[in-house]
Amino acid sequence: MEQARLAKMNVAELSEAEAQAELARLAAEIAAHDRLYYAEDKPSISDADYDALRQRNAAIEARFPGLKRSDSPSERVGAVPSGRFAKVRHAVPMLSLDNAFSDDDVGEFVARIRRFLGLGTDEDVALTAEPKIDGLSASLRYENRRLVIGATRGDGAVGEDVTANLKTIGDIPKTLPDAAPDVIEVRGEVYLTHAAFAALNEEQEAQGKATYVNPRNTAAGSLRQLDAAITASRPLKFFAYAWGEMSAMPAETQMGMVEALAAWGFAVNPLMQRFKTVDEALGHYREIESQRALLGYDIDGVVYKVDDLALQNRLGFVSRHPRWAIAHKFPAEKATTVLEGIDIQVGRTGALTPVAKLKPVTVGGVVVANATLHNEDYIKGLGRDGEPIRDAGKDFRIGDTVTIERAGDVIPKVLDVDLSRRPKGAKPYDFPTICPECGSEAVREHNPKTGRLDAVRRCTGGLICPAQAAQRLKHFVARDAFDIDGLGAKQVEAFYRDGLVAHPSDIFTLAARDARLQTKLQDREGWGETSAANLFAAIDERRTIALNRFIYGLGIRHVGEGTAKLLARHFGTFEAFAEAARAAADRESDVWAELIGIDGIGDTAAEAIAQFFAEDHNRQEIDRLLAEVTPQEAEQAAADTPVAGKIVVFTGSLEQMTRDEAKAMAERLGAKVSGSVSAKTDLVVAGPGAGSKLKKAAELGVEVIDENGWFALIGG
């Protein structure tokens, strides 16, 4: 009772004794959630609720620093058992930058800004220019001038809590002066200097250990150590250059903000400068480029930012990039070496990818031994349209002397060949037509849209190819497919690796087989009696499943979630679909015509469906699955609703429903939901922040309504 009352109280109103009790409760509760999340992979609360608990804990600690517990969640780096970090949702997403590769690209960037803001060509847009540090970004949250959470970027929305590790970095202040606002999030780059990197590698060598590849990866590895003592032993550094949430703004310009960060004790880059014109900023790019080798740390370009924050606000973002900033990358670095062999890797979708095995060579400080050769035609010296590339279509042969290029993080490429150094008797490369993983035929599909062969050769082994099997299994358990509680990508991959599950149908025989095993699931690391029993129950729950999920789960190429729904709705039962899919092998048949006649299903998907069902091993696996699982009959689409048969696009942020909900609702009512606006679109439902789609709808004269209009229309 008492605990429940405390949990609801405002942090500012807690007495010291109450705060102590509340910190104890939070420590226990957060630890319990960590266990569920990490060890059992079964979180019982949302990320947002979890973050709220951590933030409450941090806020109480900030108010009563003396009460901080030795087992405080804010000190604990992730949940130790499974060796991972806790997740942190960024209050303001961490975005990335668009790239420019030439002066013209930068000119276009400024022209775009002028057009967007409606400025004349004679009006200057002041820009800052600073080095783009080649490290990894981090976000530091200070509440009441104390560092409470430090996180990696992660996917931009959710990062990893590496607070304890970031606290070991000397450039990062743990507390801020009184002048700093109550809540600030400082963002910047964690990096390693060349000197520190060299010293680390000397140490590694002296101990007979493998050396590190480059400063950036080493910095990233150092920051993501579960033991903060290891991070502390690596002399990481930090430059502050951006911010997230701010309870008050100390300046109105980018330059002013960075000066404030410096005044609060952050290290900022000394080469940052402000310029009135783009030409001056480009001059600074060249200046920085000329100093690059002398800086003592890696940079891979120059970042330009609009200086005026009011303009930044007006400019906003396009997808995940701010419109007001761009990274001007330095040109790629090249080297010459020998092509010693070509490996064929089989990717997740069965694509056969040629990888060049090179005589190791250093490119821009990194040793490169592998590089991409793209595809069969690229090796032959042919481009996308079959046209000769590399002069008169020079091909690559084993033993050739080749030029390779490495740009930043990108996988190195083989660019060109020196024919004068080709060894005598070198033969053109024969690209395999048999999958090296499973021995099935590997084919280049005919693309009916372009009338050409696909650039990629693919293995037809599907479910039996080991290179594809793990990926197929992950797809099978994905959220829009079977979505089995407690059996995520990670678990199913581990089961595959350990030989417990090879095909999707094996998932449904797991419990029966487990009963006969010596070492049972519950004896495996990370599992217990309850979690194993829960998993078997969750699997059983999926023995009946919506038809569209079943079809999507099969992982037929070109059959995404939307296509699976169309198929389910059209055929109603799996038997009807399978019969049609088998008969569609005959392109002259009525069934083929029926398949491509379904609104929204094109030749490519129909072709892939027919091919999938033409493979014996796929049909056998389907039979095994059907022995375990019953796909339900699909609901027929409603025909008498105001939106039946209409093509609807949702855009902008929806406030009363999630995207998934909106989509499901519209489809239930017989509408088709599309991701883009075209002349065929009947209706656009736009929430706040809608951008290009709204503009397109206006151009095309498509009806636009808001969320309330939508509910009024469907009578909800």
Angle at CA of residue 657, ends 653 and 661, nearest 5°: 110
In whole angstroms, how close is the CB of 356 to ligand IVH at the nearest point? Answer: 27
Contact between 666 and ligand IVH (CB under 6 A)? no
Stretch that binds ligand IVH, among 24-32, 132-140, 630-638, 687-695 (CB under 6 A): 132-140
Contact between 241 and ligand IVH (CB under 6 A)? yes
In whole angstroms, how close is the CB of 243 to ligand IVH at the nearest point? Answer: 9
Residues in binding contact with ligand IVH, number by CB under 6 A: 14
Contact between 288 and ligand IVH (CB under 6 A)? no
Nearest CB to ligand IVH, comparing residues 270 and 642: 270
3-state helix, strand, coil in the chain (%, to 5): 40, 20, 40
Out of 58, 169, 236, 242, the only residue in the binding site for ligand IVH (CB under 6 A) is 242
In whole angstroms, how close is the CB of 237 to ligand IVH at the nearest point? Answer: 13
Per DSSP (E only), the strands in 365-497 are 366-372, 401-406, 413-417, 442-447, 452-459
Say how many CA atoms lie within 13 Å of 189 toward its Cβ: 23
In whole angstroms, how close is the CB of 305 to ligand IVH at the nearest point? Answer: 7
Say how many CA atoms lie within 13 Å of 343 toward its Cβ: 12
Nearest CB to ligand IVH, comparing residues 27 and 242: 242
Distance CA 493, CA 83 (A): 17
Q: 171: which 2 tokens?
A: 């450039």
Measured CA to CA in angstroms, residue 60 lies from 24, 88, 143 at distances of 11, 18, 10
Contact between 467 and ligand IVH (CB under 6 A)? no
In whole angstroms, how close is the CB of 255 to ligand IVH at the nearest point? Answer: 13
Nearest CB to ligand IVH, comparing residues 33 and 90: 90
Contact between 139 and ligand IVH (CB under 6 A)? no
Nearest of 228, 224, 217, 86 to residue 158 by alpha carbon:
86
Contact between 255 and ligand IVH (CB under 6 A)? no
Q: In the stretch 318-347, what mask flags binding to ligand IVH with x, by CB under 6 A?
A: ----x--x-x--------------------
Q: In the stretch 70-109, what mask flags binding to ligand IVH with x, by CB under 6 A?
A: -------------------------xxx------------
Nearest CB to ligand IVH, comparing residues 197 and 612: 197
Out of 57, 128, 137, 468, the only residue in the binding site for ligand IVH (CB under 6 A) is 137
Contact call for residues 399 and 388 (beta carbons, < 8 A): no
Q: In which element (H, E) is residue 563 found?
A: helix 561-571
Nearest CB to ligand IVH, comparing residues 136 and 456: 136
Nearest CB to ligand IVH, comparing residues 97 and 358: 97
In whole angstroms, how close is the CB of 268 to ligand IVH at the nearest point? Answer: 10
Helix residue ranges, H only, 352-419: 376-380, 390-393
Active site residues: 132
Contact call for residues 526 and 39 (beta carbons, < 8 A): yes
In whole angstroms, how close is the CB of 99 to ligand IVH at the nearest point? Answer: 7
Contact between 303 and ligand IVH (CB under 6 A)? yes
Contact between 563 and ligand IVH (CB under 6 A)? no
Going by the DSSP 8-state scheme, the letter that residue 11 receives in this structure is G
Q: 60: which 2 tokens?
A: 């109480």
Helix residue ranges, H only, 118-227: 163-166, 194-206, 215-223
In whole angstroms, how close is the CB of 174 to ligand IVH at the nearest point? Answer: 22
Nearest CB to ligand IVH, comparing residues 189 and 506: 189
Contact between 240 and ligand IVH (CB under 6 A)? no
Distance CA 183, CA 177 (A): 13
Out of 54, 87, 90, 132, the only residue in the binding site for ligand IVH (CB under 6 A) is 132
Contact between 159 and ligand IVH (CB under 6 A)? no
Out of 26, 110, 133, 358, the only residue in the binding site for ligand IVH (CB under 6 A) is 133
3-class DSSP state of 574: helix
Contact between 261 and ligand IVH (CB under 6 A)? no
Residues in CB range of 126: below 8 A, 6 or more apart: 274, 275, 276, 306, 307, 308
In whole angstroms, how close is the CB of 173 to ligand IVH at the nearest point? Answer: 19
Nearest CB to ligand IVH, comparing residues 93 and 691: 93
Going by the DSSP 8-state scheme, the letter that residue 161 receives in this structure is B
Contact between 257 and ligand IVH (CB under 6 A)? no
Q: At what angle do helices 194-206 and 215-223 cross, to 10 degrees?
A: 80
Q: Is the dihedral of CA 478, 484, 489, 493 positive or negative?
A: negative
Contacts (CB under 6 A) with ligand IVH, residues 176-195 = 189
- Residue whose CB is nearest to ligand IVH in the complex, by number: 137
Nearest CB to ligand IVH, comparing residues 99 and 349: 99
Contact between 312 and ligand IVH (CB under 6 A)? no
Nearest of 113, 92, 243 to residue 181 by alpha carbon:
243
Nearest CB to ligand IVH, comparing residues 185 and 189: 189
Report which residue type is found at 667.
E
Contact call for residues 68 and 19 (beta carbons, < 8 A): no
Contact between 243 and ligand IVH (CB under 6 A)? no
Contact call for residues 557 and 462 (beta carbons, < 8 A): no
Stretch that binds ligand IVH, among 128-136, 457-465, 613-621, 684-692 (CB under 6 A): 128-136
Contact between 37 and ligand IVH (CB under 6 A)? no
In whole angstroms, how close is the CB of 258 to ligand IVH at the nearest point? Answer: 10
Q: Is the dihedral of CA 517, 518, 523, 528 positive or negative?
A: positive
Distance CA 186, CA 167 (A): 14
Nearest CB to ligand IVH, comparing residues 95 and 584: 95
Q: How much is the CA Rg of the chain, to the nearest whole Å?
A: 29
Nearest of 288, 377, 360, 359 to residue 329 by alpha carbon:
288
In whole angstroms, how close is the CB of 649 to ligand IVH at the nearest point? Answer: 28
Contact residues for ligand IVH (CB under 6 A)? 95-97, 130, 132-133, 137, 189, 241-242, 303, 322, 325, 327
